[in-house]
Chains A and B, each alone.
Chain A
């Protein structure tokens, strides 16, 4: 049976749109239909720009018919986390604080997506001001996980991940300060990329922590993430990735597994899926060896002593003027940030340098680090704590535990699906060298194919098949 149009990856949709076998208008209509069908249940969107999307799709169809195909995103529906400016639409940050604000310009990444011909279908729900990994604190109510709506889709880009997983759009743009792209990607079973720090402009994005914020795509495949990431960087028609190993060929790839500290406490189901994935990668010829990041246990303390005061600095005036308009938990974290001493903030920035050096050392002589994205499957909405391997841990800390360290190091990192536990998706996190996001993605593509050989697209004779 042919999968429904709105669930196909961009790499399969793009040739259909380009050849006019499928109209962008039909694809957008299919996505809007899915939003109509499950929108209320999943609460993934804060705003659906249905009429503007229909008009943009018709325009894309006209351009393509006239021979002006812009690249693989042309006519493809993409959503935007509602923390990012899209001209003429409200940027709400899922907060009452932002009531009445309408963006007068596109953020640079949104302008680049428009330039690549993407159809902007709506703004996605999130944790208020991106300040939490569960998406629970939103003035629109929480988005929900398509695999089990009683559970969080992760956060803070929870609506984005839910929308992509549910076929409401082909891709979404999220932000990631401690894991906010990778965490929801893993929780919802999609791909999420955080490029190298500073690689994509965060202009037009409401900051959470300027020194740790990243922006990047959530998609249904690694190749789709590559297409969207390159479009965001102003390259609407990128060369395909060249994976370092393929089915049947032996790999010379070496990866490090930061087993000590980072992998010591995992949900047993998550651990089982991770070890199975590692087994498959080893069978493909990857050499995997244990590495240690000595200060990894202090990463959470370093992260919090940087994020809290930087977030409080941005929000200081609004917090004074309208404290009651923040969600109570977000307000408390912002107030908490004001209590942190300057000497501890500076100490944490030195800690960040140490961790960055140690991550680089762990990567030295290796292509990547590989570990689970999340230590647990998506927890129930509203759970203050979770049980991890027999002990209780605050949900927020458990969700951030394996991702925040790579915001501190600025390394590019991607989450790809790697099976399920308790009917919920698990994610495999692959972390590369700073400034080498393309190499990371090529490796991620090879891993994706090794982990899900049945879903890998057949080789195409045309190397530029998009």
Chain B
């Protein structure tokens, strides 16, 4: 869920439960969550897997080039 979707659905939930006073807090929190998601936490496994997949793909390409018929 992206953050705009999160905010929209949290607003709807707050309305449903009669907690409209929660909305300013949710809006304020949006910025903090954006910051949390944007930070580089250094050991991102997903990013590493993507890098590995890219390297593997490149190796495969190289391999297929070397096996290509002369």
Contacts and interface: CB of A to CB of B under 8 A. Distances in A.
A, B from the same assembly: yes
Interface of A: 295, 297-298, 300-302, 304-305, 328, 332-333, 335-336, 339-341, 344, 347-348, 350-351, 354
Interface string B1-32: 10000100010011000010110011001001
Contacts of B33: 301, 305, 340, 344
B36 A339 contact: no
- Residue from B10, B14, B36 having most chain A Cβ neighbours under 10 A: B36
B7 to A, nearest CB: 9
Contact of B22 (A302, A336, A341, A347): A336
Given A335-B22, A336-B22, A350-B43, A304 B29 contact: yes
Contacts of A350: 41, 43
Chain B contact patch, size range: 20 to 34
Interface of B: 1, 6, 10, 13-14, 19, 21-22, 25-26, 29, 32-33, 35-37, 39, 41-43
A306 to B, nearest CB: 10
- Residue from B10, B21, B42 having most chain A Cβ neighbours under 10 A: B42
- The main secondary structure of chain B at its interface with chain A is helix
A350 B21 CA distance: 31
Nearest to B17: A335
A295 B35 CA distance: 11
B39 A295 contact: yes
A331 B29 CA distance: 16
Nearest to A351: B41
- Residue from B19, B25, B35, B41 having most chain A Cβ neighbours under 10 A: B41
Nearest to B44: A350
A344 B36 contact: yes
Contact of A332 (B13, B25, B35): B25
Contact of B21 (A332, A340, A344): A332
Contacts of B39: 295, 298, 301, 351
Contacts of A302: 36
A441 B19 CA distance: 46
